Amino acid sequence: MKLTVVYDNAVQKSGLRADHGFSCLIEAPDTPKILFDTGADGSILLHNMKKLDIEPKDIGIVIISHPHHDHTGGLTDIMAANRDAEFYLPHSFRGRLSARRTTKINQPCEIRPGIFTTGVLRGKEQSLVINTGRGLLVVVGCSHPGVGNILDAAARFGQVYGIIGGLHGFRQFDRLNPLSLICPCHCTQYKSKIKRLFLDRCLPCGAGLILEL
């Protein structure tokens, strides 16, 4: 599978724009392209997608982790560019969508073979869990339910290999010990501390980063 960071507070590829928010594209075999979160600003999202050669029309599934503007800001623009995608929204999502197919998520479930949602944890946020050749990759928006709770919820689907996304104020760093890949993005407050502690397996995040697992 391949994961491309489309929107982040930092940027790794020239020509892309950095902004407070998060979005990434997941391409897995035999699965429609998945856009996880949409950043804060639709024009920045579409700009970065264009620079990364990602065609909005090719996206089959859009998943929103939680209804904060830095994750839902690009929704309207994506919907305008692609009326056929399927939208998976957290149960707490309010507001009307013009999309044809929307599913509200509350409980953990398998969205596509090998692609799971943790369900909305603590009424706040869902995370995506992807079965890769090396184990599970957990993709998080802001980790508001707590990274430890998210990792516990993901573990029901198998062995967790790594985590990518916003870790917010998370500081129970020993919870990351079993992981082989740690990519703190977006709102992570202790990025430099995590980098120092896990030098051998911490990957700096930024728009343009591509992970292939």
Task: Tell me how far, at minimum, the Cβ of 1 lies from Zn ion, in Å.
Answer: 23
The residues pairing with 139 across neighbouring beta strands, listed in sequence order, are: 128, 164
Binding flags for Zn ion, 72-111, as an x/- string (CB under 5 A) = ----------------------------------------
Neighbour tally for 194: CB within 10 Å: 20
> Which stretch, 45-53, 67-75, 129-137, 189-197, contacts Zn ion (CB under 5 A)?
67-75
Q: Which is nearer to Zn ion, 1 or 121 (CB)?
A: 121
In whole angstroms, give the CA distance from residue 164 to residue 23.
Answer: 11
Q: Which is nearer to Zn ion, 114 or 165 (CB)?
A: 165
The residues pairing with 164 across neighbouring beta strands, listed in sequence order, are: 139, 183
Tokens 């724009």 belong to which residue? 17
Instruction: Check: CB of residue 83 under 8 Å from CB of residue 100.
Output: yes
Q: How many residues make contact with Zn ion (CB under 5 A)? A: 4
Q: Which is nearer to Zn ion, 142 or 207 (CB)?
A: 142
Q: Which is nearer to Zn ion, 33 or 66 (CB)?
A: 66
In whole angstroms, give the CA distance from residue 144 to residue 136.
Answer: 20
> Which stretch, 28-36, 83-91, 182-190, 199-207, contacts Zn ion (CB under 5 A)?
182-190
Q: Which is nearer to Zn ion, 114 or 145 (CB)?
A: 145
User: Binder to Zn ion among 3, 111, 115, 142 (CB under 5 A)?
Assistant: 142
Query: Does the protein bind Zn ion through residue 70 (CB under 5 A)?
Result: yes
User: Binder to Zn ion among 68, 181, 183, 185 (CB under 5 A)?
Assistant: 68
The two beta strands, 135-140 and 128-132, are antiparallel
Task: Tell me how far, at minimum, the Cβ of 119 lies from Zn ion, in Å.
Answer: 17
Instruction: Give a three-class secondary structure readout of 36-97.
Output: ECCCCCHHHHHHHHHHCCCCHHHEEEEECCCCCHHHHCCHHHHHHHCCCCEEEEECCCCCCC
The site for Zn ion (CB under 5 A) is made up of 68, 70, 142, 187
